Each structure stands twice: as C-alpha cells, then as structure tokens.
A and B are shown apart, each in its own frame.
Chain A
Amino acid sequence: MMGRRWLRIILGLVAANVVGVAFCFAFVFLFQFPDQVGLSSRAQQWFYGFAVMAIWPSLVLLPMAMGIAAAYFWRSLSFSLWEYFLWWVITSLVAPIGAYFFFKEGAVCLLIGFPILFVCGFAGVLIGRLLFKSKTAAMNLSVIPVLLIATLTEGKIRQDEQRVVEDRLLINAPATAVWDYVVSFPAIGVAPNYWLNKVGLPSPLATTCQGAFVGAARECIFTHGLVFKERVSELTPMRLLTFQIVEQPHDPELLGHLTLHRGQFQLIDNNDGTTTLIGRSWYTLHMRPLWYFDWWTRDVTSHVHLRVMEHIKTLAEGER
C-alpha cells in the first residue's frame, strides 16, 4: 500500500517533467526537421513560420500542463493542500536543476524563471486536484492538449519587437566634466547592491574606448570576464553618445534569451552647473511570456544603467 503511494507520487513527479521536457524537445525537433528531410525553400519557409509561432514555450501554460499531469497521478492519494504544495515544490525543482546541469542553462535565468514556473504549475496542480476528483477524470485529461495548443498559439500573437529602457540621473557637475567619463570610465570599485548580482548575475565593471569619434571600438566589461563589444555610431561632444552592440558575450544568461542592439548616453545641460544624464538601451526579448520577462529585463537593465551612471556621477562630481 505504502509502495503504491510512493509509486504514484513519483509517477506524478516524472509525468510532469516528461510533459515539460517533451514539449521543449518538440520545439528543437521542429527547427531541425527541415534540414534533415531537405524540404524545398518555400516549404522550409512555411515550416519555420510554424516553428517560430510555436517555439516560445509559454511559462504560463506549460507549467500548468505539468501541474495538471502531476495532479492526475496524485488524484487518489488524498493529499492535503500542504502535501500538494510540498510535492509540487520538489517536482518543479527537477526541471530547473536538470536544465542547469544537463543543458548548461544560466543560473540567474533559472532563478528568474522559477517563480512563474512554480506559481503557474501550482495553479495547474490546484486545477488538476479538482478536475480529477470527479468521475469524469479521464475526460478531463483533455484539458492538457487544450493547454498545449493554447501554448503554441501564444507565440503567434506575440511577435518579437525592439524595446527601450531609459534611466535618468542628475549630476552636480557641468556636462564638460561628465562627458569624458561617458565615453569610457575606469573600473567601478564599489560592490553592487542589486540582489541578482549577489547571486551571480554579472555587473558592469569598466568601459574602454578607442577615442571620442564615430567608428571607435568600445568595450563594456562586466564581472565574470564578460565583454560586450561595441562601436560608436553617433557622437555629439558633451551631448550624445550612441553605440551599437557588435558582439554579445556567449553567456548562458543571454544566449537565445535577449539581444541587445545598442546603447546611448544623452547629456542635458541644465544651465545651473548640473547635468541630467540619460542612459538608454535597446533590446529584443525572446522569452515568453513577454509581460513577465520584460519586467525582469527592464529591472536588470535599469540596475546596469544606474550602476554605471552612479559611477560616472561620483567621478564627475569628484572633479569639482
């Protein structure tokens, strides 16, 4: 009796993760399929169109399907709500830990993704515990394919688009004093105070630049040895510096998740000895659901901006 109970618990745990992994592998297969069978270019175009539509595994609906799958196997165990919760904690940890060890996924990305995976998955468990308590349990299983279809279509209604994050900081120094540190700045000595940096997210360290001219190579150096290679594309001394990101570091936190296009610093002379420094970054986010990951991206980017801008402020104000 006890053995059967444990078997059902483990079956639920495995089923949930199999649903998750199977769905992700299905996407990989979708992208490799046209090359393997040698489809014509038009057919390939259609196929990739479908794959792009389906590729973004929704972190809302997929965990719900996982939760429902787990609840199906746990339906006869008379779990209390607390037991459902505890077993879902364990079940939902399997996928991120597996992704970290076997797929070399970035720890910070997993940390960011885990809350939504956990909450949406638990919503699935709660729905599943009600669906499968009734006599129509088998029929109610049909909710899983419905959720998967909904997951596929979520990608279709949300296309990639370029977004921008903007931050402003008042510096008690004239634009002439600020400008030199905008082009490049020496290493930041102060430890970051953003909690994600403390758990492993790289933070900006220093910037080097060939010179204050259009076409100059620029490097933005982050901790953990990450370097963004940039090229100055627009420059108006004391007023504006725009740079294109020509090469992103091959970091698991970024690869396939986020593309950074360009950055910009704008200086506004307030004519009272102070300068308003504006930092902007343009990016495209490839993660879904967009509303969730965009919130994180804006928060992280804003902290990067402000860390650099605060450093520039300290240097420029120290000159006075």
Chain B
Amino acid sequence: MFKFVVKKLRWLARIPVLPQVFDAGLMIATMLFDRPRLRAMEMFENAIRRNYPIQKRPHRFGGVGFFIGTTEIGHLHGNGLLDLFVGKSFRAEEIRRGRALPHHVFPDSGWISFWLKSPADIAQALELFEIASTYRTTGQPISLAH
C-alpha cells in the first residue's frame, strides 16, 4: 500500500498536512502490528539525538526529518523507511553491495532508502546516517571500512 501511495498518489503530498496524516496512519499501524520495528525506530532516533547536533522536525513528506541547520540529512517514515542523501557515487556503491536500496521515489538520485525492521538494523542505519551527515556537512563522500 505504501508503494502504491508514493508512486501513484504522490501528487496528494502537495496538499498541506495530508502527508503528515498519512504518516501518522503508518505509525499507528507500526505501533499496533510491528513492535520490533517501532523499537528500532525509537532507538535510532535516540541514537541520532545523542550523537549528532541534529534537529528533528516534521518532514514535508511526513515522518521525522533530521536537519543540520537548514540542510536535510534524511528522514524516517512512520513505517521504518529511512531515506538518506549520500550523493550519487556512494549511492551506487552501497546499492551494488546490497547495503541500501535505491530511493523508493527517486531511484536515480543521490538518495538511498533503508528499512529499519528490528533493532538489529540500527548499526547499519547509523553507518549510513554517518555517511549522509558527513557528505551533507563537508560535501565530500567518505569511505568506511566494512
């Protein structure tokens, strides 16, 4: 359903507050039916808050946006889908290695998507976040030893 909405009904996101309402619906579904995912989302948010000078704000497409100043590092949807901007070169490599997915709406952009499904995914999500945050703040891609 999420895929259908973001692909076919994307124009609805232009209506003020509708993305936030949709995301609240996703969050409620996660809360009711997928507690491990909810726990992972919450642990991820807390880890980000502890480790980065980051501001959390409502995102224009729903969910939580992570910002440094006015620069968006990424955002987390209510269903645990984490979107991060890592630049095109890093994106291609991470997707090739199967560590991230092409962005669910703009697959050819410098954005990647990553599903937070359980607390076991947090370490990888934080690695990707580190890359995104470094890229966004320094303008340089970094390479991590895996």
Contacts and interface: CB of A to CB of B under 8 A. Distances in A.
B58 interface: yes
Contacts of B64: 130
Q: In the complex, which of the residues B27, B38, B78 has the most CB atoms of chain A within 10 Å of its own CB atom? A: B27
Contacts of B41: 81
B42 interface: yes
A131 B56 CA distance: 8
Contacts of A150: 16
Nearest to B42: A81
B122 to A, nearest CB: 15
B27 A122 contact: yes
Interface string B6-34: 00000000001100110111011001000
A126 B58 contact: yes
B42 A119 contact: no
Contacts of A119: 21, 24-25, 28
A61 interface: yes
Interface string B45-67: 00000000001111000001000
Nearest to B32: A85
A120 B21 contact: yes
A81 B31 contact: yes
Contacts of A85: 28, 31
A35 to B, nearest CB: 35
A16 to B, nearest CB: 15
Contacts of B58: 126-127, 130-131
B57 A130 contact: yes
Interface in B57-109: 57-58, 64, 78
Contacts of B24: 119-120, 122-123, 126
Secondary structure class of chain B's binding surface, majority of residues? helix
Contacts of A159: none
A271 interface: no
B98 to A, nearest CB: 29
Contacts of A133: 56
Contacts, number: 49
Contacts of B57: 130-131, 134
Interface in A114-144: 118-120, 122-123, 126-127, 130-131, 133-134
A122 B25 CA distance: 8
Interface in A215-230: none
A195 interface: no
Interface of A: 60-61, 64, 80-82, 85, 118-120, 122-123, 126-127, 130-131, 133-134, 150
A167 B5 CA distance: 28
A281 B38 CA distance: 45
A87 B17 CA distance: 22
6 contacts: A64-B17, A80-B42, A81-B42, A120-B21, A123-B20, A127-B58
A118 B25 CA distance: 9
A1 B64 CA distance: 30
B55 A61 contact: no
Given A123-B24, A127-B58, A134-B55, A81 B38 contact: yes
A130 B76 CA distance: 13
B69 to A, nearest CB: 13
A81 B25 CA distance: 14
B60 to A, nearest CB: 12
A126 B38 contact: no
A60 B25 CA distance: 13
A61 B21 CA distance: 10
A134 B25 CA distance: 24
A64 B22 CA distance: 13
A123 B42 contact: no
Contacts of B78: 126
Contacts of A61: 17
A142 to B, nearest CB: 14
Nearest to A123: B24
Contacts of A80: 42
A80 B43 CA distance: 10
B31 A82 contact: yes
